Amino acid sequence: MVKTATVIGLGRLGAPLAVCLASKGMRVIGVDADPQKVEALQAGRAPVAETGLEALLRENRERLSATGSIEDAVTASEITFIVVGTPSEPSGGFSLRHVLPVCEAIGRALKTKSDFHIAVLTSTVLPGMTAGPVQSKLEELSGKKCGRDFGLCYSPEFIALGSVIHDFLNPDFVLIGESDARSGGILQDLYHHVCDSKPGVARMNFANAEITKLAVNTYVTTKISFANMLARICEKVPGGNVDIVTATLGLDTRIGGKYLKGAVGYGGPCFPRDNHALAALAREVGAPADLAQATDQFNRAQVQWLASFVEQCTASGGHVGILGLTYKPHTDVVEEAVGFLLAQELISRGIRVNAFDPAGMENARLALGESVQFTASAKECIRLSQLIVVATPWKEFIDIPAEKWGGAGAEKTVVDCWRVLKLNDKTAGVRYIGLGSSPERTVAAN
């Protein structure tokens, strides 16, 4: 059983991964090029914001250390997880500009080691990259043969920001692309020791693992978009309610209920770019990518649709309040988030926007600047706005009493994208619109 691990990259995935491994009794060395992240972990502080990370780190601090030296960490450990960014390129593929320098440093460390060491790439890459540039760089700098002198695995995580620790410890399954059976077996044993859910493990060659990672997320985005398509249909059919339709769909074991919540679109740092990447791969190899492309086009159209809907429901000169700028609750990430994109679109149409989010204000302010009035609270956002859009289902919004949504004067319109509020047509001072339900309560956008 592996006793000592290195985690390179102490960001939103790497830091929780390091702490989770330590929580299962392993000695873990964290590595990052950012001295502040190294200093934080050394001092027992979480390098990034993530649910439960600070507490779990404190409980396992004695098994955690950090350094800026990849070579020192690899030399002192048995397995290395590479958890650095692979930014999207204009083509839709992923850049290895952060991965390959890490592989060079790992290779230099492997050159001095006599024991069998395994490098595990968790960063998402296109098919051909693990067996190609990544393996080549490790072999070139180490002077050793992959699969014989050292091992290499591709094992991306299927996690969501805000629940990284839970998702890592309780995965549905573990995906391992392996250079050799020995390396895959060691990594499988590690996951069986670490994961509380005792998940199934799928082991395969690099190419199939790389395709599978993209395929899983693209399939989920397709499922989300199907539910959102149903929501738009239900809004136009008298008596239609997407929650009733999708709940019934989910009873079919061929479909299942996960990700069938009809709303307004998906976002975040993984789903959109993995969808693009699978389409880019298909184009590159000359295969059709129509379904992935249609999913992306439909998803992007949701923001335009919602902006038109809001514009039609807003009186001239009225202020629109947006509650929720992050792509999901319990994270500060605004990347590709519906509320964030809606704010941008409404501003471009000359509509004045107020906005609040429990965690994403700073990141949103960096991108939106003074074009949006950021309020001090959700209640202030409601008070200052004639129409309010609940774009992210934060519990803070759900818990606001019904009487706080209405106005003292003119009736306020509340657009509930997720149908989570304790409001209805009879709430005083409120015109409530739960998207995904009958047109008897909605106004169709042009």
Tell me, what's the pLDDT at 431? 94
Catalytic residues: 270
**Class of 271-441 in CATH:** alpha beta
Query: What is the rounded distance in angstroms from the CA atom of residue 69 to the CA atom of residue 134?
Result: 19
Strand 79-82 to strand 118-121: parallel, antiparallel, or no bridges (unpaired)? Answer: parallel
Is 271-441 the same fold as 4-204? yes
- Rounded to whole angstroms, the Cα distance separating 99 from 134 reads 8
Q: For 332-356, give one letter per residue: b (16+ CB within 10 A) or e.
A: bbbbbbbbbbbbbbbbeeebbbbbb
Report the phi/psi class of residue 369: left, alpha or beta, with left for phi > 0 and alpha for psi in -120 to 50: left
Strand pairing report for 27-31 and 4-8: parallel
Mean pLDDT, the chain cut into blocks of 10 residues (446 residues total): 96 97 98 97 95 96 98 98 96 96 98 97 97 98 98 96 95 98 98 96 98 97 97 95 97 96 94 94 94 95 97 92 97 96 97 97 95 97 96 97 84 96 88 86 44
Identity (one letter) of the amino acid at 355? A
d(CA 27, CA 47): 18
* DSSP labels, 345-380: HHHHTT-EEEEE-TTTHHHHHHHHGGGSEE-SSHHH
Among 198, 152, 193, 150, residue whose Cα is nearest residue 171: 198
Q: Are 339 and 406 in contact (CB under 8 A)?
A: no
* Residue 444, pLDDT score: 43
What pLDDT does residue 446 have?
42
Partners of residue 353 on adjacent β-strands? 320
Both tokens of 34, joined, read 């950012």
Cβ neighbours of 154 (radius 10 Å): 32
* pLDDT given for residue 31 in this prediction: 98
Residue ranges with strand state E in 264-348: 319-323
CATH class of 4-204: alpha beta
Question: In terms of pTM, does the model score above 0.85?
Answer: yes
Give the pair of three-digit tokens for residue 224: 């989300």
- pLDDT score, position 443: 44
Domain boundaries, the chain: 4-204, 271-441
